[in-house]
Amino acid sequence: MILERRPAPRLLSLVIPCFNEEAVLPILRDRLSSFVKSFSIPVEIIFVDDGSRDNTLLFLMRWASENSAVKIIGLARNFGHQNAATAGLDAAKGDAVVLMDADLQDPLEVIQQMTEKYCEGYDVIYGQRISREGESWFKRITAWLFYRLMKVLVHSDLPLDAGDFRLISRRSLDALCSMHEVHRFLRGMITWVGFAQVPLKYRRDVRAAGSTKYTVWKMCRFAWNAIVSFSPLPLRISLVIGIIVACGGAIYGIYAVLRSLIYHDTVLGWTTQIVLTSVLGGTILVSNGLLGEYVGRIFEEIKGRPLYIVATRVNFS
Ligand code: UDP
Ligand code: MG
């Protein structure tokens, strides 16, 4: 892909999903205010309140009443981080959008570097964590495993150790917004879109205040969602197991028939039992697997993704 230099975005949108973040919001407000002042590009800040049960929305409302660059989308209940992020991305008006967490784990200074890469012509600049400060060993191990497993299962291009913290250009964002699937695994979807993507290494800080909103249950759901909504592999597994079992069953069935014919040493009815069980078991598993293939295709169709995304057109008027 040819990189073409482009001017700095006329407007940069920051999209920040928040769920019960009242503890961190005052700190975020201070840090964001000085960031926006020192930043050379106009910024809009879109907060998505993901059905918080604390004073998050109240705090945001007060802030927005004093500053028109602060925009709020309040969701009717907790829809989860990926959906909240989608709501914010859909509403973003900027030429470039940065998706980030409310807890300041992703340092604001990195956004400057991301914007420079954007000007070099990159469309997606994703933060890649070289270290995770102050996170539990459980979180580190599960995250390490998750990224490696996803790379094998879902998308070989899926970058390792990159979360949702990233800058996305307008054309990538438009492509992303044209994908209406219900179960969303945003980083996989952004990888799928393509265009020039580049990592930006950074150190992940400790959460500035409050505690993680990704409970173990939410993490499991997220990982399961990512695998199942992105990869037909689990469906294929049943077909492969079905074929192996059917072949094994057929071989064993033949053996049972031959044994009863040659040695006449089997209990009456044993051969029939073995042959029937192997053949039927195998057939059921294979047809389950085949059904899985079709269900997989229906699933792909129903996602209604664009078939391709065009990056360049030459001499088309
Ligand atoms: N979040 C959200 N909805 C949820 C869970 C989390 O909008 O159901 C937000 C949360 O407020 C934060 C971001 O998603 O801005 C990432 O969550 P968190 O920092 O708790 O996750 P961790 O960094 O521990 O993985
Ligand atoms: Mg966090």
Per-residue pLDDT tens digits of the chain, which is 317 residues long: 889 999 999 999 999 999 999 999 999 999 999 999 999 999 999 999 999 999 999 999 999 999 999 999 999 999 999 999 999 999 999 999 999 999 999 999 999 999 999 999 999 999 998 877 777 788 888 888 888 888 887 777 888 888 899 999 999 999 999 998 888 999 989 999 999 999 999 988 888 888 888 888 888 888 888 888 877 777 778 788 878 888 888 888 888 888 888 888 777 787 788 778 877 887 888 888 888 888 888 888 888 888 888 877 776 87
pLDDT recorded at residue 254: 85
The pTM of this model reads: 0.84
Q: How far away, in angstroms, is 158 Cα from ligand 1 center?
A: 21
d(CA 281, ligand 2 centre) in Å: 48
What pLDDT was estimated at residue 135? 74
Closest C-alpha to ligand 1, atom 2: 81
16 C-alpha to ligand 1 centroid (Å): 10
> Which residue's CA is the nearest one to ligand 1's atom 3?
81
| Ligand lying closest to the C-alpha of residue 219 | 1
Pocket of ligand 1 (CB under 6 A): 17-19, 21, 50, 78, 80-81, 84, 101-103, 105, 212-214
- Rounded Cα gap, residues 169 and 8, in angstroms: 11
- Looking at residue 289, its pLDDT comes to 83
